[in-house]
Amino acid sequence: MSDSRRPDFDRYPELKAAWDRRQFIKSAAVGTAFMALGGSLVRIAADDLSKEARAERRPDGRPRLPPGQRTLEYLRPMGGEQGDGDVKTFRLKVHGLVKTPFEIDYAGLLKLPQVTKEADVHCVTGWSMLAGQWKGVQIATLAEKAGIKGEARHVIFEAAHGYTANAPLKEATADNALITYRLNNKPFQLQHGAPVRGLVPDLYFWKSAKWITGVRFVKDDRPGFWEVRGYHNHADPWKEERYG
């Protein structure tokens, strides 16, 4: 069956390598990939894609894929007590150690400066999703708008039903840390945090709170829902900080 999204390689031969890699990733995500080598098809296990990603290096020198992780094509549903998922009722409160706390609705969020960032995410259970295109508002932008105070050192992400997750200010306001409402140009499904979730990709994925309702800047660290239940307070995937 032909794929209508397939580029015209006769006209654009430079796109073929990227297309082949994309198709390989899609195949590997379901367990097995087939790659043409020397005129024949060679069966390649999904683990090979993980090895390839692990061999790549991030700008900070660390391997792209942290130890103990394997790649998947899509986010895996990880449970949690869901919010209502309705953009009409969405509210985000930005407060704590700020000069001008504020609250915005979904339309207000979209009026703030928007960015799209490519980021990998890593679940504590051992899967990683690579090269997601996440759209939203940088948490650093919210901090600037609210006038964050100098004594703030941590961020508490607040979500539906009292869920919280904590993160150091540095990771929470990194260039790729967002309040996000699109992944790969699509809105989130309810199970993944619709309509809006947090994204702190350099920490294990439970820190990226789903069904987010608030961003609170604080001086003293305050362990969140999973942290008080035995999970690591910091959660660096490259140090395998899974449990406390």
Same domain membership, residue 43 and residue 142: no
Q: Is residue 201 part of a domain?
A: yes
- Residue 166 and residue 220 in contact, taking contact as beta carbons nearer than 8 Å: no
Interacting residues of 234 by C-beta distance below 8 A, sequence separation 6+: 168, 203, 241
Strand ranges in 3-98 using DSSP code E only, listed in sequence order? 32-37, 40-45, 70-72, 91-96
119 strand-pairing partners: 132
Packing angle, helices 46-55 and 16-29, rounded to 10: 120
Question: Cα 182 to chain center, whole Å?
Answer: 11
Same domain membership, residue 200 and residue 102: yes
d(CA 141, CA 108): 13
d(CA 23, CA 130): 14
Q: Which residue has the higher pLDDT, 16 or 100?
A: 100
Which CATH number do you get for residue 205?
Answer: 3.90.420.10
Same domain membership, residue 168 and residue 115: yes
Same domain membership, residue 47 and residue 111: no
pLDDT per position as a tens digit, 43-76: 344 577 788 888 899 999 999 999 999 999 899 9
Q: With the C-alpha atoms ordered 199, 78, 129, 62, is the resulting torsion angle positive or negative? A: positive
Same domain membership, residue 214 and residue 153: yes
Structural domain span for residue 31: 13-55
Q: Quickly count helices (H) and strands (E) in the chain.
A: 5, 13
Same domain membership, residue 102 and residue 32: no
- Residue 178 and residue 157 in contact, taking contact as beta carbons nearer than 8 Å: no
Q: Provide the percentage of residues in the chain whose pLDDT is more than 70.
A: 81
Q: Is residue 136 part of a domain?
A: yes
Same domain membership, residue 133 and residue 38: no
| pLDDT above 80 (res 152) | yes
Q: Provide the percentage of residues in the chain whose pLDDT is more than 90.
A: 77
Which pLDDT value is given to residue 138? 98
d(CA 164, CA 223): 8
Which pLDDT value is given to residue 216? 98
Pairing, β 154-159 against β 102-105: unpaired
Q: With the C-alpha atoms ordered 228, 233, 238, 240, is the resulting torsion angle positive or negative? A: negative
d(CA 171, CA 179): 13
Same domain membership, residue 155 and residue 44: no
| pLDDT above 70 (res 41) | no
Interacting residues of 139 by C-beta distance below 8 A, sequence separation 6+: 155, 172, 173, 177, 178, 179, 198, 215
Q: How many CA atoms lie within 13 A of 132 on its CB side?
A: 27
Same domain membership, residue 229 and residue 129: yes
Same domain membership, residue 160 and residue 96: yes
